[in-house]
Amino acid sequence: MTAPVRERRMSSVTASFLVVATMIGTGIFTTTGYLVRDIGSYAGVLLAWLIGGLTAMCGALAYAELIAAIPSNGGEYRLLTRVFNRPVGFMAAWASLVVGFAAPMAASSVAFESYAYAALGFEPLPKNVLAIALITALAVLHAVSVAGAERFQNWFTVGKILLVGSLVVAGGVAGDFGRIAHETSKPLGEALASPGFAVGLIFVSYAYSGWNTAAYIAGEVKTPERNLPRALLFGTGLVVLLYVGITAVFLSATDGATLVAAEERVGHAACAALFGEWAARGLSALIAVGLVSAVGALIATGPLIYASAGEDYPRLRVFTVRRAGGGPIYSIALQYGLAVIMILSAQYDAILIYSGFTLSILAALTVLGVFVLRRNEPNLARPYRTWGHPWTTLLFLLLSMWMVVYAIVDEPWSALVGVSTLAVGLVLYRWARPAEGISAGP
């Protein structure tokens, strides 16, 4: 085993693929039924995806400035340590571990199992066995060989983009898009003004989470000042287009009651309505393959945060250890263990709300950092400056806080667990103690 090697090996293509792979995961294939249930209007559901896409793009613009100026691994950990202070940065690292990566790993692997069994038409193994087997295999791959994992990730991500794009085209031909304007249990204005719409945006924000992936692997990317903003903005923009398209296809396929009853198998239900059960089984198999890419992307990026924190905190130094040519093995093992616990203990939709709520707070703090860093370090080299600032930055903050406030009102228990997770991070900071002389900078 060797100390971490600070060699920038990742191309802009791989970085872009990681953004796309992390974003196109559980949410788009599973949340539309929950949104129909909570919002009650097909037009309102489509509008929620458009607002979520706008929010993600505004956030990506702000993150692009920050990570081009501070191009080191660690994501919000490094950024918030530099912008605010070490306790806030450590809290971000802890929240990223639990909420940003372990929880989505759990959700994606559970969705993988659900879609794999939908493809088979029966369940040959006890619940959660296949989900745990998936993350076990991918964790071992990433711990042993970074290069092999990158090749695996790129090919699976290309397949995922083709899958979603093909579904949008095929559904565009077969769907009844007039249904979107008329399928509703409440008027559009009432739906938009309801707490359910704002809480629905939490599901949407979870589905869009991953647009900030480039921040976690900034220390691995070649020529980061040019390639990081490019990866962030290209990856996010592509996913927004795909998400709006595929949601329109799902909504055009069948009635609201069918989508709500399908729960996380909404993609299967929509395809069955459009093309028949056997086509739906084929699509479910392809979605399951796509979710493999999502889990792999989470394993590729998350452990780099804990390895980065381990460089600064003596009691966390073990998380920097790598095999030669492999990833940070103890960081991967920690994230893997937390994901297994969540698979075995949590309800699927509860994971989504908890994750979306907590990640919205974390992202808002980071985007606020654009204002703070410009004030505190006006002479810092900024290879990229946020387009539309301050308006795009303020819009992201306002939309994020709108979701957070309504989630506290409508889903108080999930919000309480999210706030408690952040508080635990601050407590753990006192235990970990930073090494003497550590700089918050890159």
Encode the chain (442 residues) as per-residue pLDDT tens digits. 444 445 556 677 777 777 777 677 677 777 888 888 888 888 889 999 999 988 988 988 898 888 888 877 667 888 899 999 989 999 988 888 888 888 888 888 988 998 899 888 888 889 889 999 999 988 888 777 655 556 666 676 677 677 777 778 877 777 777 788 777 777 788 888 887 888 888 888 888 877 777 666 666 677 776 777 778 788 888 888 888 888 888 888 888 888 888 777 888 888 888 888 888 898 888 888 878 877 887 887 777 777 777 778 888 887 777 766 666 788 888 889 999 998 988 677 778 888 888 988 999 999 999 999 999 999 998 888 888 899 999 999 999 998 888 888 888 888 899 999 999 998 888 888 765 555 444 4
Q: Are 297 and 210 within 8 A, CB to CB? A: yes
- Does 1 reside within a domain? no
- Does 438 reside within a domain? no
What is residue 353's predicted lDDT score, i.e. its pLDDT? Answer: 84
Q: Give the residue numbers spanning the domain of 95.
A: 12-432
- Does 7 reside within a domain? no
Taking the alpha carbons of 219, 221, 227, 230 in that order, is the dihedral positive or negative? negative
- Does 342 reside within a domain? yes
C-alpha 49/C-alpha 43 separation (Å) is: 10
- Does 274 reside within a domain? yes
| Torsion angle (degrees, nearest 10) of CA 402, 403, 405, 411 | 160
What is residue 1's predicted lDDT score, i.e. its pLDDT? Answer: 43
Q: Are 103 and 347 within 8 A, CB to CB? A: no
C-alpha 393/C-alpha 52 separation (Å) is: 14
Name 10's bridge partners: 221
To 10 degrees, what angle do helices 42-69 and 391-410 make?
Answer: 130
Who contacts 333 (Cβ-Cβ below 8 Å, separation ≥6)?
139, 143
203 burial via Cβ count (<10 Å: 0-12, 13-18, 19+): buried
- Does 5 reside within a domain? no
To 10 degrees, what angle do helices 329-345 and 103-120 make?
Answer: 60
- Does 440 reside within a domain? no
Q: Are 26 and 239 within 8 A, CB to CB? A: no
C-alpha 288/C-alpha 285 separation (Å) is: 5
C-alpha 409/C-alpha 200 separation (Å) is: 13
- The CATH number for 382's domain is 1.20.1740.10
What is residue 293's predicted lDDT score, i.e. its pLDDT? Answer: 78
What is residue 3's predicted lDDT score, i.e. its pLDDT? Answer: 43
To 10 degrees, what angle do helices 412-432 and 348-376 make?
Answer: 60
C-alpha 62/C-alpha 56 separation (Å) is: 10
Is pTM, for the whole model, over 0.85?
A: no
- When divided into structural domains, the chain yields a total of 1
Who contacts 234 (Cβ-Cβ below 8 Å, separation ≥6)?
16, 19
**Which amino acid appears at position 217 of this protein?**
I
- Does 241 reside within a domain? yes
To 10 degrees, what angle do helices 224-253 and 32-39 make?
Answer: 60
Within 10 angstroms of residue 14's Cβ, the number of other Cβ atoms is 23
C-alpha 87/C-alpha 394 separation (Å) is: 25
What is residue 162's predicted lDDT score, i.e. its pLDDT? Answer: 78
Q: Are 235 and 21 within 8 A, CB to CB? A: no
